[in-house]
Chains A and B, each alone.
Chain A
């Protein structure tokens, strides 16, 4: 399961100044895969992937430490009314989220998505969007 973490780095004691990921890993023993991290001087955002069974535990611990946690269920959403099954998204995606089925219909494996946004811009038909 993918969790999108948001934290502030303003104050001395904000979670963004603490080694929260390392602490969670150490305490829970859950292996956290950091897929994307965007951290600047004031705030940070991070996408992590963890086994579904451990999600509740990791989420609770992160929230206790002051991190805002959002479960990303369908990171990328396909509007089937707009999609024409061209496949322009397929090769721009670094995660191989998109493929064709045997009838040349576009198949989306959104669990692989790391929210890079490349496909959203590449889609000629405006059929892809990020979960709001």
Chain B
């Protein structure tokens, strides 16, 4: 059996359509079977409410008298992109205000407008014959704008990697606070309620499909930026009129030590056309798998610490390496549910009819990493290969002489096999002389927990280590912990002097 979209819309019009949320669907399919569920259910509503940085809105402010061609535009001191027509601008959610004490950004301005608040528009121009005015300041409400059209380039991720941190310091990321030594796991996404999880083949979610966007009616534009459905990370570009939106589903947020973001509620109704759609909307949290990624690795490709399902994540704790670790969600399941419920109410009331995509989204597409034409400098490009070192059994006097002779401040300390076991500095030697005459050997005064780098590490990461630990040199070691070089703060200067080997 198959059902046409016309039939479903006719049922919506005459009030006989059966609408359920994606949370209810698995139970219905269990009870009635796939054919039974197809006969019974006409529409499945989905919903998600979480941090969606890639969001923003186009505004048209209307013309002032005398008119101005706005070259730079600020809304509550947050700069909007004005490189479009005279009184149009695009305000991005993550753009931050220039002179606020607290973190305040585009997301806050968008929320303020939807909440009915006043926003100060400031704009400057060089003035032209047709647009003579050079500056303007005015206060605007959302209703004063001709258009306030939200266009979010990337919303509603199909699923998202969960995050943990294997380093020994707390990290502040766009995935929230990550405690050291895998002290917690942070995740995002509404699992079974997530829109794209319920249509992973993009059969009915595509361009032109009506959606719930932040409390108002919106539409799918098409694939979102960084869409990578082939790997399970599909995204959507969506749009909607801000004048229909509500603050409940549009909230500014600040990720500690990271920046501003916007929480957006997105819901998509899925027409139940055939058993294939019955099957995809019967998806459960248990079926949706994701990786827990170590955000402690400061690289694009980060290692996975464990593979878990959304059921695991939502249970409150998961296992990593045999230990139970507590989980936190960044998105709100409660509000995702409210999105799906409200959308269900709209369709039951005949307020929204469904449409099929006017253009399909590619379910196999994968996003690519950046093509980098300039080589990222690595530690090996600038490190000093003439390493002056010392062994742990030498006397401190010998170390002092060596430091003086070679005009260096750092001596990596090696054991009998030539592997790195510590480091001493001129400071350590001076301190030993002043404080305690009984200390005789290098191993008595060396620092055993050495902060080090590898030849392959990008220089930016090594520089971050120097800065964060307030030190001025890093021994460079190979895979077997043998010292192959030393990187000092002075070597960083080579990057600017053009002496780097290509």
- Bound-state Cα–Cα, A105 to B11, Å: 34
A88 touching B330 in the complex, CB below 8 Å, given contacts A122-B176, A124-B176, A124-B255? yes
- A81-B337 Cα distance, complex, nearest whole Å: 18
CB nearest to A96 among chain B residues = B326
B327-346 to A contact mask, C-beta < 8 Å, 1/0: 11111111101000000000
Among B24-32, B177-185, B365-373, B386-394, the stretch that binds chain A is B177-185
B330 lies within 8 A of A86 (CB): yes
Chain B proximity of A109: nearest CB distance (Å): 14
Residue B278 at the chain A interface, CB threshold 8 Å? no
Tell me the B155-188 residues at the A interface (CB within 8 Å).
176-177, 179, 183-186
Are B334 and A91 within 8 A (Cβ)? no
- Say whether A121 contacts B253, CB under 8 Å: no
Flag whether A54 is at the interface (Cβ < 8 A): no
Across the interface, do A124 and B261 meet the contact criterion of CB distance under 8 Å? yes
Given A91-B326, A104-B337, A121-B256, residue A86 in contact with residue B331 (CB < 8 A): yes
Q: In the complex the two chains form, what is the Cα distance from A26 to B183 in whole Å?
A: 38
0 or 1 for each of B108-132: is its CB under 8 Å from A? (1 = yes): 0000000000000000000000000
In the complex, A88→B331 CA distance in Å? 8
B184: chain A residues at CB < 8 Å are: 91-92
Quick one: given A92-B328, A121-B256, are A85 and B335 in contact (CB under 8 Å)?
Answer: yes
What residues of chain A lie closer than 8 Å to B335, measured between beta carbons? 84-85
**Which single member of A84, A90, A100 contacts B263 (CB below 8 Å)?**
A84
Partner of B328, one of A85, A91, A103: A91
Q: Could you say which of A84, A90, A92, A104 contacts B251, with CB atoms under 8 Å apart? A: A84
User: Which residues of chain A come closer than 8 Å to B49, judged between CB atoms?
Assistant: 84
CB distance from A128 to the nearest CB of B (A): 12
Q: Which one of B254, B256, B327, B333 contacts A91 once the chains associate, using CB atoms below 8 Å?
A: B327
Cα A92 to Cα B180 in complex, Å, equals 11
26 contacts between A and B (CB under 8 A): A84-B49, A84-B251, A84-B332, A84-B335, A85-B332, A85-B334, A85-B335, A86-B329, A86-B330, A87-B329, A87-B332, A88-B329, A89-B328, A90-B316, A90-B328, A91-B183, A91-B184, A91-B326, A92-B176, A92-B177, A99-B316, A103-B334, A105-B334, A121-B177, A122-B176, A124-B256
Q: In this assembly, does B403 line the interface, its C-beta being within 8 Å of a C-beta of chain A? A: no
Q: Does chain A have a CB within 8 A of B51?
A: yes
A 8-66 contacts with B by CB, 8 A: none
Closest Cβ of chain B to A101, distance in Å, is 10
The docked-state distance in angstroms from the alpha carbon of A87 to that of B328 is 6
List the B side residues contacting A87 at CB < 8 Å.
328-330, 332
Q: Known contacts A84-B263, A85-B334, A118-B177; is A90 also within 8 Å of B326 by CB?
A: yes
Residue from A90, A92, A118, A126 in contact with B254 in the complex, judged by beta carbons closer than 8 Å: A126
CA distance A124 to B337 in the complex (A): 20
A92: chain B residues within 8 A (beta carbon): 176-177, 179, 184, 328
Nearest residue, chain A, Cβ from B185: A91
A112 within 8 A of B: no
Residues of A within 8 A of B253 (CB): 124-125
Minimal Cβ-Cβ distance residue in B for A84: B332
Chain B proximity of A121: nearest CB distance (Å): 5
Contacts of B263 in A (CB 8 A): 84, 86, 124-125
A92→B175 CA distance, assembly (Å): 12
In the assembled complex, the CB of A127 is this many whole angstroms from the nearest CB of chain B, namely: 10
A122, B183: Cα distance in complex, Å: 14
Interchain nearest-CB distance for B319 vs A (Å): 14
| Cα separation A53 to B276 with both chains bound (whole Å) | 64
Q: Contact at B254–A88, with CB atoms within 8 Å?
A: no
